[in-house]
Amino acid sequence: QKQEWAKLKDEPTTTADGAHVELAANIGTPEDVEGVLNNGGEGVGLYRTEFLYMGKSQLPTEEEQFGAYKSVLEQMGDKPVVVRTLDIGGDKELDYLDLPKELNPFLGFRAIRLCLERDDIFRIQLRALLRASVHGNLKIMFPMIATLEEFREAKNMLDEEKVKLKEEGHNISDDIEVGIMVEIPATAMIARQFAKEVDFFSIGTNDLIQYTMAADRMNERVSYLYQPYNPAILNLVNNVIEAAHAEGKWAGMCGEMAGDSIAIPILLGLGLDEFSMSATSILPARTQLKDLSKEDMASFKETLLSMGTSDEVVAFIKEKTNQ
Ligand code: PEP
Ligand code: MG
């Protein structure tokens, strides 16, 4: 089996009926890029930048961040690299920021919420990213976006830093796509409106499932409610993909679900453009996709979206794809 996977390392990802999708990887550090390339990754779909901020006693400097972003971009060459801006707070704490304890950290002051208020921190990251942009194919993504205003405000700060850097004499790429993670149901619901303003969506199902089902992703006692295949999730995912395509934008997914063998046929049928997963899942996914027909999977769409339970969805997919 490993041999069959290896043969596909340098092949594009093509379905049985000739459709193309992109298989990208989730990374946390520049050292992870080697594994992405060795596993045939067509891009980085999620670079979690939290590691730059964690396990130390102070914020990373602009230079330190610039070095990390440049390294990832250079190693990936002209392949796309989606860098997610700081997603701290919630369960990921930074001692040196001295944030007050919250009753519901997952519903609290985290990610873009923190970045918009502490824009002193945020702007340093944006500057490092903009400066690194000339070293590869950079796309910037904001996490935990709940409203259009949040996106506009973050985008505004990015544009302001771009102007300042240019005035300071720096070269900045002119075609950096700017997108958002869809991990909050409110955002998935009005993806239509977002799609007019963002360049792309990446669906973060790890959080989207938790918020849609109101079930803590870390709490064992409610883990039965953590259902990726629940039709509620599939309808939200479908809404996001349709909205993106209606505006000529692309939709990816960077939650765990993107690399799951039950989810892959469903997502292919819904028209997902980019699947971002752990590097070691890429070749198995490419192998699976090679034998799937996008048209067949798309013909199941209405049936799947109108099902009542996760179990029905799983049974249906298993039968249709011989799993
Ligand atoms: C997600 O929420 O699906 C995601 C990819 O982000 P994280 O797992 O880092 O919260
Ligand atoms: Mg998340």
- Full DSSP string of 188-210: HHTHHHHHTT-SEEEE-HHHHHH
- Does residue 226 surpass a pLDDT of 80? yes
User: CA-to-CA distance for 200 and 179, rounded, in angstroms?
Assistant: 5
Length of the chain: 323
Residue 48, annotated as binding a ligand: yes
Q: Specify the DSSP class assigned to residue 25.
A: E
CA of 167 to the centre of ligand 1 (A): 35
The reply to whether 221 sits in an annotated binding site is no
254 among known catalytic residues? yes
Among the bound ligands, the one closest to the CA of 91:
1
DSSP sequence for 208-227: HHHHHHT--TT-GGGGGG--
Q: Which two tokens stand for residue 150?
A: 């949040």
CB 17 within 8 A of CB 290: no
Q: pLDDT tens for residues 276-313?
A: 999 999 999 999 999 999 999 999 999 999 999 999 99
pLDDT cut 70: percent of the chain above it: 100
Query: Has this prediction a pTM greater than 0.95?
Result: yes
Q: Is the alpha carbon torsion for 279, 283, 286, 287 positive or negative? A: negative
pLDDT in tens, 64-114: 999 999 999 999 999 999 999 999 987 788 889 888 889 999 999 999 999
Among the listed residues 172, 254, 268, 313, the single catalytic one is 254
Coil, strand or helix at 115: helix
State pLDDT tens for residues 179-212.
999 999 999 999 999 999 999 999 999 999 999 9
Residue type at position 30 = P
Ligand 1 midpoint to CA 81 (Å): 16
Q: What's the mean pLDDT in 316-321? A: 98
CA–CA dist 51, 295 (Å, integer): 40
Q: How confident is the model at residue 4 (pLDDT cuts 50, 70, 90)?
A: confident
Structure tokens at 73: 């971009």
Nearest CA to ligand 1 atom 7: 206
pLDDT tens digits, 37-73:
999 999 999 999 999 999 889 999 999 999 999 999 9
Is 39 labelled as part of a ligand binding site?
no
> Which residues does ligand 1 sit against, CB inside 6 Å?
46, 48, 87, 183, 204-207, 254-255
Query: How many CB atoms are located within 10 Å of the residue 149 CB?
Result: 10
- What lies within 8 Å, CB to CB, of 18 at 6+ separation is none
Averaged confidence pLDDT in the chain: 96
**207 is known to lie in a ligand binding site:** yes
Q: Which atom of ligand 1 is nearest to the CA of 203?
A: 3
Say which residue, 319 or 3, is predicted with more confidence. 319
pLDDT for the residue 91: 72
Task: Report how far ligand 1's centroid is from the alpha carbon of 265 (Å).
Answer: 21
Locate 38 and state its tokens: 């060795």
**Closest CA relative to residue 292, chosen from 322, 253, 312:** 322
Q: What is the CA radius of gyration of the chain?
A: 19
182 CA → ligand 1 middle, Å: 10
For atom 3 of ligand 1, the residue with the nearest CA is 204
